[in-house]
């Protein structure tokens, strides 16, 4: 007994030393296993309920995690409200009148606080809600690494500079992801998030009126709800075929020139990423697997861990 318990202690110490040396071991799938065993089931139930009330919410929650991770890393900065003394990210060009789901996050946070006070970060809630949203819409699942802490800062300027623009060409999209440690292949895979959700007329107007690498019937049908002037906030689905199902139709659309955004169609416009798009049209299982892996990678972007940052009590403001 004494021998086995001491040897298991030695093992634990060795593991601790190992993870301290490796350094990247801060996030872990079992982070809340002891401190908040109900965290994951609480988040999942709330996401399922929100998505069954409104399918688009699944898309909106997935996007919130993306916009969080691309600005200062996955630290919940996107959730902070502006105040008279604090400038958040919500008025940045890519976010204003666009990102949504804050009330759902508030509701999840309230429920999680009720089961474990000040234990689960808003950044982790975003990461788990993104996964549960994809699953709720029929997509793949993955194991979310946990233990992110919440920022006490936000960056409006980084939100404006680092979240990719829908008017970007392929080389610019590649650079934007590279800046976050993500490969060109990750970029193509993660863009598959546009198999769900909606976009406003203002972000695709130039494409449907002025671009030539678009299916003409598709462009014509979009024009009926997106006039050349006005109607800026009118919505169209990013995936014209199955807008509330997480599948590979995003890529099927690209090969027939039915990408909604200029940036979408850039992935299949005769450049280096054409082959990967073709692969995903033939092999939806590969897309699912790659998407799961790429989401884990995106969720790893510069997290705050250990004693960095804080666990916010309210996702909209620092403690």
Ligand X SMILES: *[C@@H]1O[C@H](CO)[C@@H](O)[C@H](O)[C@H]1NC(C)=O
Measured CA to CA, the distance from residue 280 to residue 262 in angstroms comes to 19
What residues are paired with 149 via a beta bridge? 304
Q: Which stretch binds ligand X (CB under 6 A): 19-27, 79-87, 143-151, 203-211?
A: 203-211
Q: Does 206 bind ligand X (CB under 6 A)?
A: yes
Which one of ligand X, ligand HEM, none is in contact with 190 (Cβ closer than 5 to 8 A by kind)? ligand HEM
Measured CA to CA, the distance from residue 181 to residue 301 in angstroms comes to 8
- Residue in the structure block whose two tokens are 């989401």: 295
Q: Is 262 a catalytic residue?
A: no
Measured CA to CA, the distance from residue 136 to residue 145 in angstroms comes to 19
Question: Of the two residues 102 and 209, which places its CB atom closer to ligand X in the complex?
Answer: 209
Instruction: Give the shortest CB-286-to-ligand X separation in angstroms.
Output: 36
Contacts 24+ apart (CB under 8 A), 85-90: 86/154, 86/317, 86/318, 87/154, 87/156, 88/154, 88/156, 89/154, 89/155, 89/156, 89/158, 89/159
Give residues with Cβ within 8 angstroms of 177, minimum separation 6.
164, 183, 184, 186, 187, 190
Q: Which stretch binds ligand X (CB under 6 A): 3-11, 169-177, 185-193, 201-209?
A: 201-209
Q: Which residues lie near ligand HEM (CB under 6 A)?
A: 56, 59-60, 62-63, 66, 98, 100, 164-166, 168, 173, 187, 190-191, 193-194, 196-200, 203, 238, 261, 263
Question: Of the two residues 210 and 225, which places its CB atom closer to ligand X in the complex?
Answer: 210
Instruction: Give the shortest CB-64-to-ligand HEM separation in angstroms.
Output: 9
Which one of ligand HEM, ligand X, none is in contact with 98 (Cβ closer than 5 to 8 A by kind)? ligand HEM
Q: Does 225 bind ligand X (CB under 6 A)?
A: no
Q: Which residues participate in catalysis according to the annotation?
A: 67
Chain positions contacting ligand X, by CB under 6 A: 205-206, 209-210, 228
């Amino acid at each position: 007994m004494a021998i086995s318990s001491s040897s298991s202690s030695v093992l634990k110490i060795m593991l601790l030393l190992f993870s301290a040396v490796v350094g990247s071991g801060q996030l872990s799938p079992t982070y809340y296993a002891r401190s908040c065993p109900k965290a994951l089931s609480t988040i999942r139930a709330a996401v399922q309920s929100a998505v069954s009330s409104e399918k688009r919410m699944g898309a909106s929650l997935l996007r919130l995690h993306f916009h969080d991770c691309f600005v200062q890393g996955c630290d919940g900065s996107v959730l902070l409200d502006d105040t008279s003394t604090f400038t958040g990210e919500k008025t940045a060009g890519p976010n204003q009148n666009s990102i949504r789901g804050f009330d759902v996050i508030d509701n999840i946070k309230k429920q999680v606080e009720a089961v474990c006070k000040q234990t689960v970060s808003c950044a982790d809630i975003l990461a788990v809600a993104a996964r549960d949203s994809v699953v709720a819409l029929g997509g793949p699942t993955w194991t979310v690494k946990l233990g992110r802490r919440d920022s006490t800062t936000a960056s409006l300027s980084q939100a404006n500079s680092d979240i990719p623009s829908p008017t970007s060409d392929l080389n610019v999209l590649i650079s934007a992801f590279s800046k976050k440690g993500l490969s060109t292949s990750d970029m193509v895979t993660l863009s598959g998030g546009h198999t769900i959700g909606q976009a406003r007329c203002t972000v695709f107007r130039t494409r449907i009126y002025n671009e030539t690498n678009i299916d003409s019937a598709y462009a014509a049908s979009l024009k009926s709800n997106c006039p050349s002037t006005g109607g800026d906030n009118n919505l169209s689905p990013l995936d014209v075929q199955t807008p509330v199902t997480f599948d590979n139709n995003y890529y099927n659309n690209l090969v027939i020139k039915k990408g909604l955004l200029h940036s979408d169609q850039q992935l299949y416009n005769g450049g280096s990423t054409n082959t990967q798009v073709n692969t995903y049209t033939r092999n939806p299982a590969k897309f699912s697997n790659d998407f799961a892996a790429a989401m884990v990678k995106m969720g790893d972007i510069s997290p705050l861990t250990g004693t960095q940052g804080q666990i916010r009590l309210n996702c909209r403001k620092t403690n």
